[in-house]
């Protein structure tokens, strides 16, 4: 999986660390981590203040190994002329060797941090659970300087990214040895993430993110022998006279994402007005040959809509079900259970709750995996960190890097992009993750429109930037 960034759970990291300790001298992994942390902090000081020597760095030190990492890093910074002060949140259990190294290098232990240029968060590590304790929470809340987190922001769950109370919000997080799920699931809390290798031997990940260049390399574009039919023909059944915008957005996204052909089944007359290249018909049966279907956005939930969905699901073609289609499936899951052709459901949190009958808890990864296994299909759970689970495959995540796509109609656009990839013959989970990546990038491009400061967008400009997003990713791949 060289084309994917793997994220490793606490148990997986602990197992890799145990194996590492059999190969290297005691204390070496912590020194490697601390050196990497100190290097990142020094670079951050230079970028923010113009220098390292003479700057002031504070340490918030807990009782675990992350506290030791912070203390050792503080000692290395002190030897470079940084004034380092440390608050020991649990003095009796502070890392002994790290504390000795800090004091030897000239660092000081204090009751409270004074004026500092930057703070290192070494409060808790991957063994920590739950929010910050009151004393630590008070100190963190009082800070108005950048925080560099050691391995993960304290107070954020390492495996689920859940935040149940006060937690650190870091400007930079220095991941030791491996990325953890928190780095994808709570990326906004982590800030910029820097990986410091410490020598871990890691297994193939069960949770991963596609590399953007891989998305660009795998995106379907016409080959020398292709024609409009061989590139994949998408069928879209979305929108209605009641909800015409949904049909326009979903069909338009399919048009923008493929060089092949898009067929539309329905009575939304706005689709042809906006996209004359689309081949339209009134019914599913009259649509003609397609390689994949998109059903749901604005399609309605009445008996006629239910019949259209049943007709599409009765085919042997890949199908994307979104929006109103999910509402129909929540009421009648047997329509899709047992289907052998590729099927992708694209719920947001509320739709997910209707499908499963339970509200999403803090462990979104476990929840999406459970639905995918139970219904034996692919599930794309929307969010800033969009999750994609398919039976027997690694779970994928696509961190949007922002929330520009959080706007009405955005999901309609995503369904059309995804349908185009399925029609081109791409695997369901890859297609879902790739569609999410292009969708997020298109939203970011639309929000910024060539300017460094973004502005709110609607789904229409998002739709208009799909081709630009694909081009950016293909350029990353060297295509």
Known binding-site residue numbers for (6S)-NADPHX: 65-69, 125-131, 151, 246, 298, 348, 412
CA gap 479, 408 in Å, rounded: 33
DSSP reduced 3-state for 251: helix
Burial readout 196-222 (b: 16 or more C-beta within 10 A, e: otherwise)? bebebeeeebebbbbbbbbbbebbbee
Q: Where are the alpha helices (DSSP H) in 314-452?
A: 324-331, 349-356, 364-375, 410-423, 428-448
* CA 414 from centre of chain: 15
CA gap 81, 83 in Å, rounded: 6
3-state secondary structure string across 103-130: HHCCCEECCCCCCCCEEEEECCCCCCCC
The sign of the dihedral angle between the CA atoms of 143, 147, 150, 154 is positive
DSSP reduced 3-state for 42: helix
Q: What angle do CA 19, 20, 25 make, to 5 degrees?
A: 130
Neighbours of 297 (CB within 10 A): 32
Query: Which residues are part of a known binding site?
Result: 65-69, 121, 125-131, 151, 154, 246, 298, 348, 382-386, 411-412
Burial of 144 (0-12, 13-18, 19+ CB in 10 A): exposed
Radius of gyration of the chain (CA): 25
DSSP reduced 3-state for 182: helix
Query: Which residues are part of a known binding site for K(+)?
Result: 66, 121, 154
With DSSP H G I counted as helix, E B as strand and the rest as coil, what are the percentages for the chain, rounded to 5? Answer: 40, 15, 40
């Amino acid at each position: 999986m060289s084309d994917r960034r793997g994220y490793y759970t606490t148990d997986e990291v602990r197992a890799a660390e145990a194996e590492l300790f059999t190969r290297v001298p005691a204390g070496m992994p912590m020194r490697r981590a601390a050196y990497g942390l100190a290097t990142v902090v020094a670079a951050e000081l230079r970028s923010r203040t113009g220098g390292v020597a003479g700057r002031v760095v504070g340490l918030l030190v807990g009782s675990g190994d992350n506290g030791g990492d912070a203390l050792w890093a503080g000692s290395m910074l002190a030897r470079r002329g940084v004034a380092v002060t440390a608050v020991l949140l649990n003095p009796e259990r502070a890392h002994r060797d790290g504390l000795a190294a800090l004091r030897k290098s000239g660092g000081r232990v204090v009751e409270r941090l004074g004026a500092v240029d930057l703070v290192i968060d070494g409060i808790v590590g991957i063994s920590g659970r739950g929010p910050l304790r009151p004393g630590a929470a008070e100190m963190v809340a009082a800070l108005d300087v950048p925080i560099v987190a050691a391995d993960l922001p304290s107070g954020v769950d390492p495996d689920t990214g859940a935040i149940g109370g006060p937690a650190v919000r870091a400007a930079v997080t220095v991941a030791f040895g491996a990325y953890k799920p928190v780095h994808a699931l709570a990326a906004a809390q982590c800030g910029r993430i820097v990986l410091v290798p410490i020598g871990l031997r890691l297994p193939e990940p069960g949770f991963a993110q596609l590399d953007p260049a891989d998305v660009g390399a795998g995106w379907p574009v016409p080959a020398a022998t292709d024609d409009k039919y061989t590139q994949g023909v998408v069928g879209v059944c979305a929108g209605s006279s009641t909800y015409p915008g949904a049909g326009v957005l979903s069909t338009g996204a399919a048009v923008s994402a493929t060089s092949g052909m898009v067929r539309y089944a329905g009575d939304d007359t706005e689709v042809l007005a906006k996209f004359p290249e689309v081949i339209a018909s009134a019914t599913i049966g009259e649509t003609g040959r397609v390689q994949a279907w998109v059903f749901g956005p604005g399609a309605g939930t009445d008996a006629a809509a239910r019949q259209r969905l049943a007709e599409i699901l009765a085919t042997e073609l890949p199908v994307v079900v979104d929006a109103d289609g999910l509402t129909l499936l929540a009421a009648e899951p047997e329509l899709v259970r047992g289907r052998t052709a590729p099927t992708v459901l694209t719920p947001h949190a509320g739709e997910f709750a209707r499908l499963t009958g339970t509200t999403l808890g803090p462990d979104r990864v476990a929840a999406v995996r459970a639905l995918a296994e139970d219904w034996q299909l692919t599930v794309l759970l929307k969010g800033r960190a969009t999750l994609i689970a398919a039976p027997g495959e690694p779970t994928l995540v696509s961190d949007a890097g922002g929330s520009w796509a959080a706007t009405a109609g955005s999901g309609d656009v995503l369904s059309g992009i995804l349908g185009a990839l399925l029609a081109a013959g791409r695997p369901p989970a890859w297609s879902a993750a790739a569609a999410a990546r292009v969708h997020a990038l298109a939203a970011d491009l639309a929000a910024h429109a060539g300017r460094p400061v973004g502005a709110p967008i609607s789904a229409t400009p998002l739709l208009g930037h799909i081709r630009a997003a694909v081009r950016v990713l293909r350029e990353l791949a060297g295509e």
